[in-house]
Amino acid sequence: MLDIRQVYKAYATPQGPLRVLAGVDLRLAAGESLALMGESGSGKSTLLHLAAGLDLPDHGEVRLDGRAISSLSEPRRARLRRERLGLVFQQFHLVPSLDVLDNLRLQARLAGRESPDWTARLVARLGLAGRERHYPEQLSGGQQQRLAIGRALAPRPALLLADEPTGNLDETTAGEVLRLLLELVREAGSALLMVTHSPVVAAPLDRRLRLSHGRLGEAPP
Ligand SMILES: Nc1ncnc2c1ncn2[C@@H]1O[C@H](COP(=O)(O)OP(=O)(O)OP(=O)(O)O)[C@@H](O)[C@H]1O
């Protein structure tokens, strides 16, 4: 469902072009989970942004469901993101003026995939039953991150892209949030591409790849 072929990406800097990705190939099947690892600055977030169509490669192709996203206009890419992708970052990006339930509903509605049953199930699975009418600022960090994961999965996206989703949480909370994320991804039937530099976080995923010197290789188990 995600097919990245021979992707190159450099950033313009005052010192000249900074080559970050130099011939990256990556394929992810429906329902599959993949950890994207590598040292700080190796280009993990850059690759995730390209997969989301938030940025475009200099060369190469990113295909989602068989469609080359670099050939789409930005409004069409935004629509594809809304309808097919879920995004989770270290910062929660919740809508502060909407309560728990409406944060979930909004995302599903934007994707045109409202499902009251799944939303109700999500609230319970996120451990937020009884908190439906609470606003994000009334929740703890761990609860906000659980809500952010639920919001991304509310439309049951084909692919969840997660950038260090537990990076802001203490170790115990991070472990609980990760377990929940993996369970919900399975229940939603989504594929998962997750950036992490933690081998512990990467371990339960189907595959692990490491970015180094602009290329992807197998990461040690
Ligand atoms: N907009 C930009 N302009 C210039 N350089 C950039 C830009 N975005 C990222 N970079 C540089 O590209 C390289 C890769 O950045 P990226 O954020 O993809 O790495 P990362 O592997 O996700 O790092 P980390 O684990 O620290 O988050 C870094 O050297 C970074 O400084």
> What is the SS3 assignment for the chain?
CEEEEEEEEEEEECCEEEEEEEEEEEEECCCCEEEEEECCCCCHHHHHHHHCCCCCCCEEEEEECCEEHHHCCHHHHHHHHHHHEEEECCCCCCCCCCCHHHHHHHHHHHCCCCCHHHHHHHHHHCCCCCCCCCCHHHCCHHHHHHHHHHHHHCCCCCEEEEECCCCCCCHHHHHHHHHHHHHHHHHHCCEEEEECCCHHHHCCCCEEEEEECCEEEECCC
Residue nearest to atom 18 of ligand 1 (CA): 43
Residue nearest to atom 27 of ligand 1 (CA): 40
User: What average pLDDT does the segment 183-211 reach?
Assistant: 93
Q: What is the per-residue pLDDT for 221?
A: 63
User: What average pLDDT does the segment 60-67 reach?
Assistant: 92
Residue nearest to atom 10 of ligand 1 (CA): 11
Ligand 1 nearest-atom number relative to CA 46: 18
Most ligand 1 atoms within 8 A of CB, residue of 15, 19, 37, 42 to mutate: 42
Q: Please check the confidence at residue 104 and state whether its pLDDT lies above 80.
A: yes
Question: 2-218 adopts what CATH topology?
Answer: Rossmann fold (3.40.50)
Q: What is the per-residue pLDDT for 172?
A: 86
- Measured from CB, residues less than 6 Å from any atom of ligand 1 are 11, 13, 18, 20, 38, 40-46, 197
Question: What are the pLDDT digits (tens) for 19-59?
Answer: 999 999 999 999 999 999 999 999 999 999 999 999 999 99
Residue nearest to atom 6 of ligand 1 (CA): 11
Q: Please check the confidence at residue 177 and state whether its pLDDT lies above 90.
A: no
The pTM (predicted TM-score) of the whole model is 0.91
ipTM summary value: 0.97
**Cα 201 to middle of ligand 1, angstroms:** 21
Give the residue extent of every domain in the chain.
2-218
Residue nearest to atom 31 of ligand 1 (CA): 41
Q: Please check the confidence at residue 173 and state whether its pLDDT lies above 70.
A: yes
Band (4; pLDDT cuts 50, 70, 90)? very high
**Cα 217 to middle of ligand 1, angstroms:** 19
